[in-house]
Amino acid sequence: MEALKEVAADVDNDTLADMLRTHQSGIKQQTEILESCFERLGSSPQDVPCAPVDAIRREYKDFQRQEPSSQVLTMFALGGAMKVEHFGIASYRGWSARRWRWVTWGLRRT
């Protein structure tokens, strides 16, 4: 989530910066929902590295060091944000599908 805050500060488009900040709030809400699910299962989430997101963040930092124009950096940031979003959607869907199977098949008590 911190990466979105950094990128929102770097982009040269106020509308895009607002969208990134709004998206960051949405991710925070999703995180809270997932944490409550873990709690209901009698477990707690663990912080684990996420290689794809870490790689996208490194790619952004490396690109930033090349000192592109603000417009080019904004476009690059938008591309990176889209990559992260697609990854997040796929991860969340996978988790939700597993959760649905647990409930449906009675593998976990909710």
Q: Is residue 57 part of a domain?
A: yes
Q: Is residue 110 part of a domain?
A: no
Our count of domains for the chain comes to 1
pLDDT at 87 (0 to 100): 84
Q: What is the pLDDT along the chain (110 residues), one digit of tens a residue?
A: 677 788 888 888 899 889 888 888 888 898 898 889 888 889 888 888 889 889 999 999 999 999 999 999 999 998 988 888 888 788 777 666 666 666 666 655 44
pLDDT at 97 (0 to 100): 65
Q: Is residue 80 part of a domain?
A: yes
Q: Is residue 50 part of a domain?
A: yes
Contacts 24+ apart (CB under 8 A), 52-61: 52/83, 52/87, 53/3, 53/84, 53/87, 56/80, 56/83, 56/84, 57/3, 60/3, 60/7
pLDDT at 63 (0 to 100): 96
